Amino acid sequence: MPMYSYKGISSSGKEIKATISSDNLATAKQKITSKGVMLVQIKEEKSDTSSKQKSNISFGTGISVLDLSLMTRQFATLIKANIQIVEALAALTDQMDNPKLKVILAEVKQKVNEGTSLAKALSAYPKVFSNVYINMVEAGESSGNLDIVMLRLADFTESQVKLTAKVKGAMLYPIIMFVVGAGLMSMVFIFVIPKITKIFVSMKQELPWVTKACIFASSFMINYWWLVIISTFLSYYLFKKYIGTKKGESNWHYLLLKMPVVKNLAIMISVSRFCSTLATLLNSGVPILVSMNIVSNLITNVHVKKAVNEARINIAEGASMTGPLVKSGLFPALVTHMITIGERSGELEDMLKIIATNYEDQVDSKLSALTSILEPIMIVCMGIAVGIVVFAVILPMLKMQSFAS
């Protein structure tokens, strides 16, 4: 059923902006006027997120993961109460606060009402509903456990957004410290050093190399500030273009896996995402080969992705998935050992859940430790930079005093 947004004036003279679902424009107008509203403007709302380009849950659609998780949990509750899918979608559409998600749900309801499966209707919006989401819904529909699957989806979505928030939160403080420090040092070099330089020039004495270096940096920033900005953006553009190539992406991801601090964190995040996603898909009834294919698409590091794809090929050939994972050297021995036990005992999903929970806790601890280490490092770096500038200013003055005495 299409969704219409409208503006109108109530009987009391108050301006109204709202949405309404209706079979067609004429019926929508009739519904609005029957409420005693004088219609000013009305138009059909259509989603702009139905691009065929597949992607993960997007933050750029105006629909947050929390909105999606809340909707999923409400939908699961309605389905569990034996309410038909179309009626449940209608109820969700009416109570949804997010206008974009409201429009999408109305369109999904219309497709389902016309005989399309829920999974296929959702697949028309890949920027909102990921491959994991769609495949789990499809498995839930085919198994008759849609309510259970939707609850698992809500839990999975929330756990993924928590992991992302932890990573972003850990990087926020160092970034703020770097930006503030760079800004303060730039002000010193642009406004303070030039004034002191005039004093040094009037001395007509040989200046220490550290003072000359600071004066040169100050002069360069004042006269060629535009070159600094252009170089910064150009370097960023070339870097993004380079890692956009297969070779560049492979080299960059390899470097990340070799960096002392980043290496362990990157592997932990990849292992946690691999295990939690695979466990959720398998518990929802998605076939293991399909699940492995979905998981590989969610992993960002190309070297970890390669190992997962090779594991999928092994499974297709009737072998264990752990062989390629061990060979890659990227999955810890404990992880591969537990997966092997899970495969042999038939409790792979439970083992994957245990691994995912354990590594989520490790990621949290690692990020906390990383933040606590970076804080003093940033302070020390800023202190060294300020000390160099102060030393560059004081040293000529001390020389001048020694000559005077």
- Do residues 127 and 111 touch, judged by C-beta distance below 8 A? no
Residue 288 in domain: yes
Q: How far apart are CA 401 and CA 278, in angstroms?
A: 73
pLDDT one-digit tens code per residue, 355-398: 988 888 888 788 777 777 777 888 888 888 888 888 888 887 77
Question: Within 83-145, where are the H helices?
Answer: 85-95, 99-113, 118-122, 131-143
**What's residue 53's pLDDT?**
38
Q: Is residue 239 part of a domain?
A: yes
Q: Does 93 share its domain with 183?
A: no
- Residue 15 backbone dihedrals phi, psi, to 5 degrees: -75, 135
d(CA 159, CA 179) in angstroms, rounded, equals 30
Residue 43 dihedral angles phi and psi, to the nearest 5°: -150, 150
- Cα 386 to chain centroid, rounded: 35
Looking at the structure, do residues 71 and 37 belong to the same domain, yes or no? no
Same domain for 100 and 237, yes or no, is no
Pair 156, 276: CB distance under 8 Å:
yes
- Per residue in 2-55, pLDDT (tens digit) is 666 777 777 776 777 777 666 667 777 777 777 777 777 777 766 554 444 333
Beta-sheet strands, E only, within 147-290: none
Q: Does 136 share its domain with 235?
A: no
Does residue 52 belong to any structural domain of this protein?
no
Average model confidence (pLDDT) across the chain: 82
CB 312 within 8 A of CB 293: yes
Report if residue 58 sits inside a domain.
Answer: no
C-beta atoms surrounding 83 within 10 Å: 16
**Phi, psi of 9, deg, nearest 5:** -125, 125
Contacts of 123 (CB under 8 A, 6+ apart): 129, 134
Domain boundary residue among 159, 186, 211?
159
According to the model, what pLDDT value does residue 48 have?
A: 56
